[in-house]
Homo-oligomer: A and B are copies of this chain.
Amino acid sequence: MEQTYAIGIDIGGTNTDIGLVRSDGTCIARTNLPTQSYSDIEAYADDVADVIRKILSDNGINEIVGVGIGAPNGNYYTGTIDYAPNLPFKGRIFLQELIRSRMDTKVVLTNDANAAAFGEKIYGGARGLTDFILITLGTGVGSGIFVNGQMVYGHDGFAGELGHAILYPDGRACSCGRSGCLEAYASARGIVQTYKELCQENGIAAPADITCRDITQRADSGDELAIDTWRRTALCLGIALSNAVTFSSPQAIFLMGGPVKAGHWLLDPLKQYFDEYLLTIFKGKADIRRSELPENDAAVLGAAALVYE
């Protein structure tokens, strides 16, 4: 089958990654711009368009299917980035239109977790699946949901916020201002908090700057509190994902992001709790899997995948 090409743009608070992606899921070329150094959105759009033209020219590509953009607080319906706290551009930014006016090609914009789900569907483990959920574990907990082969955007473009489903109504404070959300337990920060709380309960001092990676290393070294941290994280995720299944009965749930590198410490108890908490009619029907996208390119691939909708 003849290959086609797409540009994927992943906008982060620090860097904007821009990649040229072949339809077999290979990221052929990649470069980045320092997002934080821009305060003027027009100058930013100019430079993004210049970088795209240079990548295409350097690689001898004359035709692309389009440009996909994944951004925090990106809204598919409006093509805007709305009040993203970690970006230098304030208010509502009409980025889709700003890029389209400079490139004369299809431009699609959505939020980063939705883009990741598109990446999994077009290039990864969700190829051929109509109903699946992708969960991104990182600073926050994001999600992208496919139902009937279509992304669930909701009527306003903001659907798929499973990180803010409330798990324990009187639980731990969440960054969203409420209590007991999945994100308060299963984000990198939540996982670190669980470990620190367990250390405190056991009269042990935990380093202030400890990370999820450190907790995995400690689990590998036999630290029972680290092992228990991953088990407790798995319990929260297992309940939340079994609840998600009652909603859309997906064929698979994919996990992506740093904490997934805990590997069996997280995944073994997760699969066990997920099965334990699943409603009987759903047991054995939905798999929990790791994302099949290469970690470093996942965000750019997700953004590029948007143009194949």
A residues engaging B (CB < 8 A)? 129-131, 145, 147-148, 150, 152-162, 164-169, 176-178, 239, 242-244, 246-251, 277, 279-282, 285
Can you list 16 contacts pairing A with B, beta carbon distance less than 8 Å?
A131-B154, A147-B154, A147-B159, A154-B248, A154-B250, A155-B249, A155-B250, A156-B249, A161-B279, A161-B281, A165-B246, A166-B239, A166-B242, A168-B169, A176-B280, A244-B247
Contact B277 A145 (CB under 8 A): no
A281 to B247, CA, bound (A): 21
Chain B residues with Cβ below 8 Å from A166 are 239, 242-243, 277
Closest to A251 in B: B155
Contact B251 A248 (CB under 8 A): no
Chain B residues with Cβ below 8 Å from A157 are 249
A131-B154, A147-B152, A154-B131 known; A248+B249 contact, CB < 8 A: no
Contact B281 A158 (CB under 8 A): yes
Contact A280 B177 (CB under 8 A): yes
Contact A178 B246 (CB under 8 A): no
A148-B150, A166-B242 known; A282+B158 contact, CB < 8 A: yes
Chain B residues with Cβ below 8 Å from A282 are 156, 158
A130 to B166, CA, bound (A): 25
Contact B176 A249 (CB under 8 A): no
Q: Which of A148, A168, A243 has the most CB of B within 10 A?
A: A243
